Amino acid sequence: MIEIRNIYKSFDQKEVIRNISKVFNQGQTNLIIGRSGSGKTVLLKSIVGLYEVDNGQILYDNRDFTSMSPKLRKHLRQEMGMVFQGGALFDSLTVEQNIRFPLDMFSLLSPVEKQKQVDFCLERVNISDANKLYPSEISGGMQKRVAIARSIVMNPKYLFCDEPNSGLDPETSMVIDELIHSITVDLQITTIINTHDMNSVMEIGDNILFISEGEMCWEGNRKEVLYADNHKLQEFVFANKQYQKIRDEKMEGK
Amino acid sequence: MLRVFSKPERHSLYLRQTFNEIENLGVKSVGIVAVISLFMGGIMTLQVAYNMTNPLLPTTLIGLGNRDSLILEFSSTIMGLIMAGKIGSNITSEIGSMKVTEQIDSLEIMGVNSAGYLILPKIIAVVLMFPLLYILSVFFGIIGGMIVGPAVGAVTLPDYLNGIQFSFNPYYVTFSLIKCLVFGFLIASISAFFGYTVEGGAFDVGTASTRAVVNTNIMILVWDLILTQLLL
């Protein structure tokens, strides 16, 4: 479980995140949603410590990340996995070497055990046949899968995904969503996903935080999101008229 | 800088990375160093020959002039300026691209000291390889002079060979090797700094590369002046 309490973050006097508090549950896909520029990525990067928060607390299973020494933070980071918007795979390494990298750096497993773990992750994301290719030789969807495989190779307790569907077609997006959701449930990890993709929200939104202009506007789950009485959320959700239609049909059905 | 020199997470991986960098930054520069040095030595020999208008001066001085110019300045400083362009821009653009594509963030999230893992092996590789490239440069420069001088009739081969062996001061080599260590550190560290601190996209990586090369060149010349005053 990850809990954030009264988070504030600003850049050059401009406040980007204001007073956000939320509990992200274990074994659930927790979504941070909002328009582009609403502060989602800044919030996620603040949670993982890539940005230092100005104020507030971040608790990983009640361990206060904000007041931790750099040494302890480094240790805690080995329990984290992150999938970046562009994949962030190392260009000079093959798919297999990318996935093996965290194991080579931190694990004390034997080479055979490492290979076994890499093969398991490759199989888990269905890219076993691409293991010898370089990131530039595979598609965007496959790169995301490799990034997911790399993020779970150390058996993390916390998984973070920044716009995992950006640049992907709807079908591949759905595959990636399902993959992240099944990994979250199977491994019982705490997953936080940044997205503005309403399909993802409706598919895997177990626990949703909606932010607008750096402020928390609404929280709930995918069953509630269509019926929320929140003007900003409605503007966001119903920007795609299809969801307004779905809601209207469901309400008429009721 | 402290993070660059902090204790590595896994020594074997850093060592492997260092050998990769020695190959990428050092071994792959041998070709360009050889070509430039051959021409540099040839041109220096011609320049010295054309400036020796006094018939009382022995032509053995042509070989000596070429040798000392290469040992003292050309193979260290001029090669340093050229390597700042080749190796320096390579380092800045590689690290800068990793920064803007979030690969450095990715290392940080894994708990890897990205500054140490990416920069330290490059500094070690360049500091180790630059003196070797210097020695190669002197060698090829002297060969260049040996080919061009007799070929255009500026000096006979025996006179040139006598010249390059005449009045040799080994301290000149020691002095230049010290300069190479300093220049190697400047090239790798300044370029890495500009790459690691880049923000934005591809355009900013290009700008950072240019700034890195310009700043490294200036620092090489400043340190050349300081070391020459202190050591020679």
Residue among B3, B103, B106, B117 with most chain A CBs within 10 A, to mutate = B106
Lowest mean pLDDT among A83-92, B49-58, B161-170, B204-213: B49-58
What pLDDT shows up at residue B6? 83
φ and ψ at residue A52, rounded to 5 degrees: -85, 130
* Residues linked to residue A5 through DSSP beta bridges, in sequence order: A57
User: Quick check: A88 and B112 CB within 8 A?
Assistant: no
Q: Is the pTM of this model over 0.80?
A: yes
Q: Is the pLDDT of residue B53 over 60?
A: yes
Low-confidence ranges of chain A (pLDDT < 70): 254
Task: Count A/B contacts: CB-CB distance under 8 Å.
Answer: 52
Name the residue type at position A13: Q
- Which candidate, B43, B83, B67, places its Cα nearest to that of B216? B83
What pLDDT shows up at residue B56? 86
Q: Which CATH superfamily is domain A1-79+160-177+191-254 in?
A: P-loop containing nucleotide triphosphate hydrolases (3.40.50.300)
What pLDDT shows up at residue B94? 96
Distances (CA, A) of B133 to A125, B20, B22: 46, 17, 12
CB of A109 less than 8 A from some CB of B:
no
pLDDT, one tens digit per residue, over B116-172 is 999 999 999 999 999 999 999 999 999 999 999 999 998 999 999 999 999 999 999
What pLDDT shows up at residue B160? 95
Mean pLDDT, chain B, as a whole number? 94
φ and ψ at residue A215, rounded to 5 degrees: -120, 150
User: Which residues of chain A make contact with B108, given a CB cutoff of 8 A?
Assistant: 50, 77
What pLDDT shows up at residue B189? 97
A108, A188 in Cβ contact below 8 A?
A: no
Q: What's the pLDDT band for B107 if we cut at 50, 70, 90?
A: very high
Q: Is the pLDDT of residue B93 over 60?
A: yes
Among chain B residues, CA nearest to A108: B10
Q: Is the pLDDT of residue B69 over 90?
A: yes
Domain ranges of chain A: 1-79+160-177+191-254, 89-155
DSSP string of B210-232, one letter each residue: HHHHHHHHHHHHHHHHHHHHHH-
Distance from CA of A234 to the nearest CA of B (A): 32
What pLDDT shows up at residue A171? 84
Q: What's the pLDDT band for B36 if we cut at 50, 70, 90?
A: very high
Domain ranges of chain B: 11-231
What pLDDT shows up at residue A254? 57
Distance from CA of A146 to the nearest CA of B (A): 13
User: Which residues of chain B make contact with A97, given a CB cutoff of 8 A?
Assistant: none
* Residues linked to residue A9 through DSSP beta bridges, in sequence order: A17
CB of B11 less than 8 A from some CB of A:
no
User: Which residues of chain B make contact with A45, given a CB cutoff of 8 A?
Assistant: 105
